Structure 1
Amino acid sequence: MVMKCQRVLMMQNDRKIAQILDAALPVFVRFGFRKTSMADIARAAGISRASLYLSFNSKEELFRAGSMRAHTRALDEVGAVLAGQGNTFDRMEMAIAVFQRELIAPFGGSSDAEELFAANMALAADITLDARTRLLTMLTQTLNAAAETKEIDLEPLQASPVQLANIMMAAMDGIKHAQWNGSSLDDDTKLFMRLLRVAVTPRSGQ
C-alpha cells in the first residue's frame, strides 16, 4: 500500500514537472531568458509561485531541466527514425527535421532567440554537447552502414562517414543562424540534403 502511494505521488509529480516545463517554453520564447520571471512561469502553468518553487529552486534550474527534457525527447525520436526502414537520405532528412523541430524551431519566432541559445550554452552546455555527440554518432553509423551496402559512394569526395557527419552538423549550425536573417530553416536544410544526396549517390554503371 505504501509503495502504491509512493508511485502515485511520483506520477503526480512527473505530471506537474511536465506541466511546468510545457508552460515555461512559450514564456521564454516570448520574453527571453533574462526578462522571464518565475512568477511569469507560475502564472502560465496555472500554479502558485510557492508551488513552482517546490519543484524548481530557480529559473536557471528550470531552464536546465527543460533543456534536458527537450534534448532527450529529440534524440529518442531521432534514433527511432534512423533505425527505421527506407532510403538512408530520407531517414537522415527526417531525423534532422525532428532535431530542428524540437530544439531550434521553437525559438525561431522569438526576437530573443540568440539570447536563449546563449543561455542554453551557459546553463546546459554539457547537455547540449552530449546531445550533439550522440547525434554525430548516430549519423556516422547511418552513413557507414549506407557506404557498406553501396547505397552511397564516398570515394569521389574522399571523405569518411564521420567527416561527412561532421559536415552535416556544421551545416545545421550555419542554417540555424541564417534563419535569423530571414532564411527558411526547413527549405535551407532540404536544399543542403539534396546537394549532399547528389554528391554521394553512386553514378550509374559503377
Structure 2
Amino acid sequence: MLETTETATDPKRARILDGALKMFLAYGFSRTTMDDIARAAEVSRPALYLLFKNKTDIYRALASVVFEESIAKARAELAGDAPLGERLFQVIDTALISVMAKIAESPHGAEILDMKGSLAGDVVEGWRAAMVGQFTAAIGEEARATGVDLAARDLSPVMLADVLFDGLEGMKMRVSGAEEQRKAVRGLVKMVELAIRP
C-alpha cells in the first residue's frame, strides 16, 4: 500500500490510489477508466469524483506519493553511518531502481513512466530538486569530514550531485534491467567517491 502522511490520514484516498495503480499497471493509463478505478478501490463513482477530478489528477497524486516515499527513503539511508559510497548506492537502489523496476516490469510500465513528464513534470522536477539536495548535503558533509577542499578541485557538492543524478537519467536510457542498472550505478558512485577522496 502507498503510505504517506496524506494517505495515512485519508484511507479512502489511499484505497483509490492503490486501486488506480493496480489498474494502470494491468491495463495502462489510456485504457483505464474512472469506473475501473472506482471498482478497484471499492468506492462509488461520485465518491471518486469528490476526491479527484480525473485520471490525470489521480496520476499526479500517485506520482507525488511515490516520489515522497522515495525522498523519505533517501533521507533515512543518507543519515546512516555506512561509508558515503554505500549510502549513495543504497539510496539509488531502494529509492529509484527498485521502485521504478516494479512499474517498468508491468505490461504497461513503459507507458506509465513515459507519461510522467507530460502529466506530472512539475512533480518530477520537485522530486529531482529534493533528491539532488539530499545528495548535495551528503557529499558536502563527507568532503568536510575528510577535509577535502572541493573548490580547489573546481568542484562543489551540488555539481557532483547533479553529475550523479544526470548520470542516472542517462543510464536509464542506455541500460535496461535492474541488475545492469545497479552495475552502472556502482561506477557513477565510484566517480563521486574518487572526486572527494583526500
* Shorter-chain TM-score above 0.5: yes
Aligned residues: 193
Corresponding residue number in structure 1 for 2:182: 189
For the 8 Å contact 1:29–1:106, the answer to whether it is kept is no
1:126 pairs with 2:119: no
Q: Which moved more, 1:146-155 or 1:130-139?
A: 146-155
What CA distance in whole angstroms lies between the structure 1 residues aligned with 2:96 and 2:21? 15
Matched, 1:64 2:57: no
1:42 aligned residue (35, 38, 53): 38
Q: Deviations over 1:110-135 (max 9, x none)?
A: 34334323322222211110110111
Q: Distance in 2 between matches of 1:12 and 1:169?
A: 30
Does residue 1:105 correspond to 2:101, yes or no? Answer: yes
Give me the whole-angstrom Cα distance separating, in 1, the residues matched to 2:8 and 2:183: 41
Unaligned runs of 5+ in 2: 1-5
Percent of aligned positions with the same letter in both sequences?
29
1:55 aligned onto 2:48: no
| C-alpha distance after superposition, 1:83-122 (max 9, x if no partner) | 1222111111111122215752232113433432332222
For the Cα contact (< 8 Å) 2:7–2:14, is it kept in 1?
A: no
98 and 12 in structure 1: CA distance in 2 versus 1, 3 angstrom threshold: closer
Structure 1 unaligned spans of 5+: 1-9
TM-score by length of 2: 0.81
After the TM superposition, which parts of structure 1 deviate over 4 Å for at least 4 consecutive aligned residues? Answer: 10-13, 151-155
Alpha-carbon spacing, 1:26–1:176, altered in 2? closer, same or farther (3 Å)? farther
Once the two structures are superposed, residues 30-57 of structure 1 have per-residue CA deviations (whole angstroms, 9 ceiling, x without a partner) of 2221111111112222223233222212
**Cα distance, 1:12 vs structure 2:** 9.1
CA RMSD of aligned residues (A): 3.1
Tell me the TM-score normalized by structure 1: 0.78
